Amino acid sequence: MDPLSLKEKIGNDPEALEAFLEEILKEPSEEDVGLLKELREFYKDHKGCLKVIKRAIFKLRQKGITVEEEEEKSVSILRPVKLPEPKGYLGLWDLSGRLFLALEKETPRGLIGFSGFGSFEEGLLDFFGSPVAKKNWRKFLENQVVSGFRLKEVPASYVKRLFEEFNGIKSHEDFKKQASQFENIPSYEGEPLIFQHLSLEGLTNPKEEKLFEILPHFGLWAFEEEALKPYMEELKSAQESPLVLTKVQKGQRIEGIVEKAIQVLFPERKRQALRRSLEEVALVLLLNDKEEEAENTLLLAERLKEEPSPLRPDPFLRRLFLLGLQALSSEKAPTEFSSF
């Protein structure tokens, strides 16, 4: 039968086509190869009928009739697999405000996961990248929870920038070895991502205590023990001074030590590190549905752009300094300089 007439008679019914082919293959011949080839061309856009024809070709081979491989090549058109776009994740590493970063990248061989953490003062403290099963990777990401705050998806280009920002402060050998894995990820340009979601217009009077309620150890990475010790000793001496001073005089002396410490311990570079940390913490809070807390944190960050005045120390820096003293001392800080 003419293949075109056969197609008109059978239509696009795979069952009818299969019944016809089974009948003619009861007594197969070399001529059937040509028929199947033409039918395959006619039905190239109909998956059901195409499968029936491929089965018929297979049966011909089983009965000793040669069908060359190239006869079937037009059936399957190989297309390059489009891989999913890389994904980035941002969260907290601990209650000091260190950031946890994760990035996933699909390759033809499977998923590669990258993770690390650090701060804008200490740089990239840890980095790891390795092929990983998707199920294990998802479980790993789900387990990264700090005080109820979960990892949230952000652009992979942004996570790449944060990795590079941390690595520029303090490099990590494993990151340098795998830096080429990030080359095909676009570079994020522009101001920190939080400013695409929040506006500071109309917002005033940030409350540093609100931040420390959420992250009680925020910013402790900004201090070195040796830098704090002299001020701890000065404050203890002022507290225990044998000089007869009124409460006001003693308070003024202590306040003078605190103001001096803030000027010395928070130069521009360190204020910049704290500001960047606050901006990213604000983003984490916002992505975890804490908009009011995020706005407050971003206001604290904006205030750090100002040069601190000896006459009016930044309340956030003051509180952070005293928090550092409390962390250094095994005892609670004296009442005169722990109250606000």
Which burial class, exposed, middle or buried, applies to 183 when counting CB atoms under 10 A from its CB (0-12, 13-18, 19+)? exposed
In a domain, 197, yes or no: no
In a domain, 287, yes or no: yes
Structure-token pair, residue 324:
């550092």
pTM strictly above 0.75: no
In a domain, 203, yes or no: no
Q: Is the pLDDT of residue 40 over 70?
A: yes
In tens, the pLDDT along 190-244 reads 999 999 999 888 778 889 999 999 999 999 999 888 888 898 888 888 777 666 5
In a domain, 195, yes or no: no
- DSSP for 122-147 reads TEEEEEEEEE--HHHHHHHHHT-EET
Q: Do 52 and 117 fall into the same domain?
A: no
Query: How much is the mean pLDDT over the chain?
Result: 85
Q: Do 99 and 25 fall into the same domain?
A: no
pLDDT of the residue at 334 = 44
Domain count across the chain: 3
In a domain, 97, yes or no: yes
Strands 87-92 and 145-146: unpaired
In a domain, 80, yes or no: no
Q: Do 221 and 185 fall into the same domain?
A: no
Q: Which helix (H) or strand (E) holds 279?
A: helix 268-287
Q: Do 212 and 331 fall into the same domain?
A: yes
In tens, the pLDDT along 84-108 reads 999 999 999 999 999 999 999 998 8
pLDDT of the residue at 244 = 58
Q: Do 180 and 127 fall into the same domain?
A: yes
Instruction: Say which residue, 77 or 230, is predicted with more confidence.
Output: 230
**240 backbone dihedrals φ, ψ, rounded to 5°:** -100, 10
**Domain limits at 250?**
208-338
Q: What is the mean pLDDT of residues 147-170?
A: 96
Q: Is the pLDDT of residue 336 over 60?
A: no
